[in-house]
Chain A
């Protein structure tokens, strides 16, 4: 039987494929925030209404990239044995002008990446248990559709 696909955390991204990150927008200046309610405030809009939920851009350009070449400590859940280095990109979303980190999709290595390269958002499995697949957003190298 197929496992039930659930988000690894609630409220940070949509579950359709391809997904969107769920951002916030608020205040008289219309600043963007990610995560929607966890990101710190805009001091110019302190007393204003709650943030409106907005989908963030699915595509962006790599701002920088790196690896976690050794297994991160808990609460990260290591799923590969032996451990495969995690490739991580920080991506600039142009219209929102913010930078968001995420893992790269499996199979992508550091040498595939460059600062400025186009990427797009995907859903992928972060870890599993007997009944569930826990999904998270990851970045994939851009396709023509993304460009």
Chain B
């Protein structure tokens, strides 16, 4: 299927960190920067698509309204959406649909979060019919415990080593030092990683994504609007995937205590994460070989290797070799997580998928400074939201 493109007119971010202020402040800063970058006035925005945060009370559940109110209500249409870590891509997909349907010409997409210290915990209250409550209560399965399961499985199936995982962190930290929005703009070496404490065996503290505050925003429009407003050759959104899994999802995933059963149908290798990018590739009319860079959801160091395989950069089992070859570092054949990734940022849930698109846009415009990928023309982002929300965006220069 081919889907018409929309233009990215402007991008903006509030630096990631543990600032301890309201998420609204981060979102507003990112939105203002995106509108300045786009040279589009707030009064001209026709639609605000907010990506929600569920940890900041009611204002977080109606983020479109919250951000519009903070910027000053000017009467435009609003939407607020939540899809866990995929919320930002969902918010972008809604803006695209509005634009392509002719309901609006230019939209602001914004997500921001303020996070508590430590592990993400389920929503309060006794809820034994909620898988997210059960996994904490009965087993003590934190998010990093799932990352640990996947990492150990790679070691058993493919012969990956803990040093391979540490090398992902080292690589991404070398990218992150060049990113003014990164929370940890610091270069780490193998010894730093190996000397950090185990959180979920075989993964160490420096290999597991922290929880962060941050905000990110995009101004997107129809191609006609872009041309009429001085953007002759904007970066374009060429594909968006928001697919869910197909049954049976044989690889266990957050927040469930069990996989689907593949006794009656399917096979033991089938995982949702192999399906997510395909929809975006199909819409954009490209494949893995066409990519110049990718932003992938490195919730852990080992997880980045899983994504190489899920998005088709290499065959299952070959990701560690791809990493060791240097191909996925800036300067290599297909740089991955040029922003520094979650390893350099930590995770600000509703902002993260939007931040991935910000990075791709800066790269395709040639504005990425010390982490610039030469002549980048096609980029892909991928992440997924717990419970089954896929998210992938392909942008073209």
Please report A residues at the B interface, Cβ cutoff 8 Å.
8-10, 12, 27, 29-35, 38-44, 63-70, 72-77, 86, 88, 90, 95-103, 110, 114-116, 126, 136
Contact = CB atoms under 8 A, between A and B. Distances in A.
18 contacts: A9-B134, A29-B265, A31-B260, A38-B129, A40-B260, A43-B247, A63-B149, A63-B153, A64-B149, A64-B153, A68-B145, A73-B121, A75-B122, A75-B136, A76-B137, A77-B137, A86-B139, A115-B153
A23 B236 CA distance: 48
B191 interface: no
Contacts of B150: 64
Given A64-B156, A67-B148, A69-B200, A102 B261 contact: no
B262 A97 contact: yes
B3 interface: no
A31 B134 CA distance: 22
The residue among A8, A34, A35, A66 with the most chain B CB atoms within 10 A of its own CB is A66
A86 to B, nearest CB: 5
Interface stretch (B20-28, B59-67, B251-259): B251-259
Contacts of A103: 139-140
A65 to B, nearest CB: 6
A75 B137 contact: yes
B70 interface: no
B137 A8 contact: yes
Nearest to B131: A38
Interface in B329-345: none
Interface of B: 118-122, 124, 126, 128-129, 131, 133-142, 144-145, 148-153, 156-157, 197-203, 246-248, 250, 252, 256-265, 268
B156 to A, nearest CB: 4
Contacts of A136: 138-139
Contacts of B135: 101
Nearest to A138: B139
Interface residues of A, dominant DSSP: loop
Nearest to A44: B265
A39 B145 contact: no
A140 to B, nearest CB: 15
Contact of B248 (A31, A90, A95): A31
Given A40-B260, A100-B257, A72 B140 contact: yes
A43 B248 CA distance: 9
B139 A31 contact: no
B263 A97 contact: yes
Given A9-B137, A64-B153, A103-B140, A42 B200 contact: no
Nearest to A101: B257
B349 to A, nearest CB: 16
Contacts of A35: 134, 257-258
B139 A101 contact: yes
A66 B145 contact: yes
